[in-house]
Structure 1
């Protein structure tokens, strides 16, 4: 069985509800041995990015026979740069230089412009 989950966006209660629904809807052996592919966007709008990441990181120890794939989404790259886990661009430009082409979206998207903005990129 293959299960694909995308766009959690920091909402731990929605992720926990989804997981509960999977547990209720699927035979236990099917869920226990499923290939679960997370399509990225673990953070962004929701307030519980840390809890989402902790939930996901715990899955391999909770479900030993499951196979997990964690893909990187477009919201995960800026977060990775923000926490300092992404190497800087090879041309020496700041991460924030990549925002220039998206600046027209800032007002209707409500993008973050607080401390640490310079360390993000898209």
Structure 2
């Protein structure tokens, strides 16, 4: 198998690619990052460009509803806005479908998501959880559900493979388990082997962007740190952007 490392990886011809890490309800930072991207494009106009969002739009931060509204509207304006699924986005759908009070939505930031829709839920109280889920099902626009259901698990551009969490090392990129793409962690992070593409991911918060020979982690814990990170790939050039609260 032919492999590539970060230093030698190239983006697609005549296409500048941006990728943005985990947003987690921080609409303010997402808006600022999009503004930064427009500034970069005005400063040095590309032939064409695209933005890949790496998932986890909901939970933990204050405005998950606003983030989904923003991304849906952005996609209506241009085909250049690509959105991948994160485990929290899938967990939100699972909660709406099954009402599991022990899943990722209930235990890791779903209260804040529900609150952004005007719904208060106590997941430790069966009555509140049931009533809250019913209220949330009434409050969430169908466009939000459709958006979440339509999220892809990965995309490839040039020498880069974009997904939320990472890949299963040793498995061909086109044969990856969709669950691994949104959930895998240490089996991927601790493996130094090069892959057929450089993996650009989020999912595991770090104090700064992590650049390894085989991967780039863009999750800088925006919901808590107030820092949303992105990479800009332009042919063989790679640089990083940051939106700060």
TM-score (norm 1): 0.63
1:36 aligned partner: 51
1:59 aligned partner: 74
- Equivalent residues of 2:54, 2:85 under 8 A apart: yes
Relative contact order, higher structure (CA 8 A, sep 6+): 2
Structure whose alpha-carbon radius of gyration is higher:
2
The change in CA–CA distance for 1:26 and 1:47 in structure 2 (over 3 A counts) is: same
Tell me the distance in 2 between the aligned counterparts of 1:110 and 1:68.
25
What residue ranges of structure 1 are gaps of 5+ in the alignment? Answer: 89-93, 100-105
The change in CA–CA distance for 1:20 and 1:39 in structure 2 (over 3 A counts) is: same
The change in CA–CA distance for 1:55 and 1:73 in structure 2 (over 3 A counts) is: same
- Equivalent residues of 2:56, 2:88 under 8 A apart: yes
Tell me the distance in 2 between the aligned counterparts of 1:51 and 1:6.
17
- How far off its partner does 1:68 sit? 2.9
1:2 aligned partner: 17
2:62 aligned partner: 47
1:83-107 CA-partner distances (Å, limit 9, x unpaired):
23xxx6xxxxx855767xxxxxx7x
SS of the residue 1:69 aligns to: strand
- Number of paired residues? 99
- Equivalent residues of 2:60, 2:110 under 8 A apart: no
TM-score (norm 2): 0.34
**Residue 21 (structure 1) aligned with residue 24 (structure 2):** no
Tell me the distance in 1 between the aligned counterparts of 2:75 and 2:57.
17
SS of the residue 1:26 aligns to: helix
What residue ranges of structure 2 are gaps of 5+ in the alignment? Answer: 1-15, 112-121, 124-128, 134-182, 184-245
Say what the alpha-carbon RMSD is for the aligned residues. 3.1
1:68 aligned partner: 81
